[in-house]
Chains A and B, each alone.
Chain A
């Protein structure tokens, strides 16, 4: 029996395996690098420590067009010690920036909004405190390609 391997079959095979094995991780790394670069500009290069920042997001977003998030930071919000800014960054979006919130020593550092996520990805929140320290928290959101019907 003669076996024929068409060009198309080979390409399809490479396509599937290639996309899964080789391409995907590289894209993910590029996403993270772009987000790091974007944040670096906003924070003036101060390295962010893990902690203090909590990001509440659905684990599964029914539709990426409207994903509600709540960000909170552990801070007393006194004139001596408060959160100056929180940046929200979506690593996998075409542009990483989502929003920046600027606070004064009042209320509590908690904001809820809704954002667009183009695919399953990590969302990061970075808080800049009045003492110059920078803190971050992140969460993965699975975005289903959801919503039957135009």
Chain B
């Protein structure tokens, strides 16, 4: 079971642009590799990443087999209100991994 690491600032001034960094341990098996017997190794990647802030979807990404293992991402949001920030990683096998935090906006 992958364990995400997330870095969200605890506080921000209203209107401030802040950075979120996130990473998760995952092989991101691309589907392009072959095993020792020469058979293709089936693809198993995280194909979607979704971020909600105070209940609204604010950022998302589609990932393909070219994203490196243990995907790392950094992106930016504007502090509009205090509330939870939730990050979701969707796996090819249907699993969903979640992590997050909360930001206090003053």
Provide the residues of chain B in CB contact with A98, threshold 8 Å.
64, 66-67
Q: Could you say which residues of chain A place their CB within 8 Å of the CB of B100?
A: none
Please determine whether A106 and B64 come into contact, CB atoms closer than 8 angstroms. Answer: no
The answer to whether B71 and A113 touch across the interface, beta carbons within 8 angstroms, is yes
From B59, B65, B78, give the contact of A102 (CB < 8 A).
Answer: B59
In the bound complex, how far is the Cα of B59 from the Cα of A111, in angstroms?
Answer: 11
Q: Does more than half of chain A's interface fall in helix, strand or loop, or is it mixed? A: strand
Cβ B67 vs Cβ A113 within 8 A: yes
> Which chain A residues border B66 with CB–CB below 8 Å?
90, 93, 95, 97-99, 115-117
B71 cross-chain contacts in A, Cβ below 8 A: 113-114
Quote the shortest CB–CB distance from B74 to chain A (angstroms).
4
Query: Interface digits, B37-66 against A, CB 8 Å rule (1 contact, 0 not)?
Result: 000000000000000010011111111111
Question: Does A104 sit at the interface, judged by CB under 8 A?
Answer: yes
Q: Are B78 and A99 in contact (CB under 8 A)?
A: no
User: For this complex, into which size category does the number of interface residues on chain A fall?
Assistant: 20 to 34
Q: Determine whether B13 belongs to the interface, using a CB cutoff of 8 Å to chain A.
A: no
Collect the chain B residues with CB atoms within 8 Å of residue A110's CB.
74-76
Nearest Cβ on chain B to A141's Cβ, whole angstroms: 12
Check: B32 CB closer than 8 A to any chain A CB: yes
Chain A 87-122 per-residue mask, 1 if CB under 8 angstroms from chain B, else 0: 000100111011111111011101111111100000
B72 contacts A114, CB within 8 Å? Answer: yes
A107 touches B76 (CB 8 A): yes
Nearest CB in chain B: distance from A61 CB, A: 11
Q: How far is the CA of A99 from the CA of B67 in the complex (A)?
A: 7
Q: Is B96 located at the chain interface by the 8 A CB criterion?
A: no
B64 pairs with A112, CB closer than 8 A = no
Q: Does A66 contact B (CB under 8 A)?
A: yes
B97 to chain A, nearest CB (A): 17
Residues in chain B within 8 A of chain A (CB atoms): 17-18, 30, 32, 53, 56-69, 71-78, 80
Which A residues lie at the B interface, using CB under 8 A? 65-67, 77, 90, 93-95, 97-104, 106-108, 110-117
